[in-house]
Amino acid sequence: MAALKAHEVARFLARPDLSEGIFLAYGPDGGLVRETAQRLIRHLSGDDPASANVTIFDGPELASDPSQLVLEARSVSLFGGKRIIRVRNATKALIMPLTQLRDDPGGTAIVLEADNLTPRDALRSLVEAAKLGRALPCYPDSDETLTALMRDTFNQAGIRADSDVIPALRDILGNDREITRRELEKLTLYAASSKTLTREDVLLLCADNGALAIDAILDATGGGHAEKLELALNRALAANVNPQQLLAMLTNHFANLRRWRTEVDAGKSARAVLDGQRPKPHFSRMAALEQQLRLWTDPALCQALERLLQGVSESRRRPVLADSILRRTTLALCMMAATH
């Protein structure tokens, strides 16, 4: 049997005992299912992820022609590298092709993502019974695993969190890994300059989960979407988000864009650059960030950063006008993006 317990999955992802075969990430926490599949694929890709040959299918797409899975697994990679097939929304409709590949995957790793499956589900049973198969249950986080995730995230970012930060987060957030990751990304970006987090910061940014559109401000400014920017700013300022902190976050965002743009100018694709970041940007922002990397040139980003630094300096000299300075600065950058 190759069925892992939920608490064993993290250890398996750190050091998988198979490099080929069928891997099934399943469970009620869709965000954790996706994260588990992504972490496994990164590990299977080896030291050079760019050389891996990763093919992505959607379950319903394969259900209409299951033979595609076998053909893809058996085909020879033209460019070498590890062959990995990722199947989202996998169901028991794939039982027949997976049965053909179960004992002889030909060096291919097949990573399946599925909803919660009962022990008697045909797909889960097939993977658990396969010698070259591993089933990875993804259940909602416990208090212990969530606390460890938060602490590790802040430590890796070099952020000193007050002792009441993690308890406050636990009171606010549920057990959905995707939501938790998104909120932690927001907090680490918020504290990127100060390297400190307080309970007040947490309550300000996360108490009404999703109500404060920090990402929307960054992406609307960088993407040249004036109407979205106005809406996001109104929501954030109405919730008493510090405009000086928002200017600092925007400065960090455009500094990241400039650093990533350097890699694009060196020949990498925007997606490859973003995929190579650690921590990797949230998948829901990938399209917006790719668009921004296409819109902005290095000289324009340099100009934008100068404008932001002026805004930060001015807001510190005249804090009573910080709201107006933030709106004027972001709108100017928004218009720069729209004209590129």
Domains of the chain: 6-137 (3.40.50.300), 144-339 (no CATH)
Mean pLDDT of the 284-313 span: 93
Does residue 106 or residue 292 have the better pLDDT? 292
pLDDT at 120: 92
pLDDT digits (tens, 9 = 90+) for 26-72: 998 888 899 899 999 988 887 665 667 889 999 888 888 888 999 99
DSSP state of 148: H
pLDDT digits (tens, 9 = 90+) for 68-105: 999 998 886 655 668 899 999 999 999 999 999 998 99
pLDDT at 317: 92
Query: Cα–Cα–Cα angle for 3, 16, 72, nearest 5°?
Result: 85
pLDDT digits (tens, 9 = 90+) for 174-212: 666 777 888 898 899 999 989 999 988 887 787 654 444
pLDDT at 151: 92
H/E stretch holding 135 reads strand 133-137
pLDDT at 59: 87
pLDDT at 112: 97
Residue 245 pLDDT exceeds 50: yes
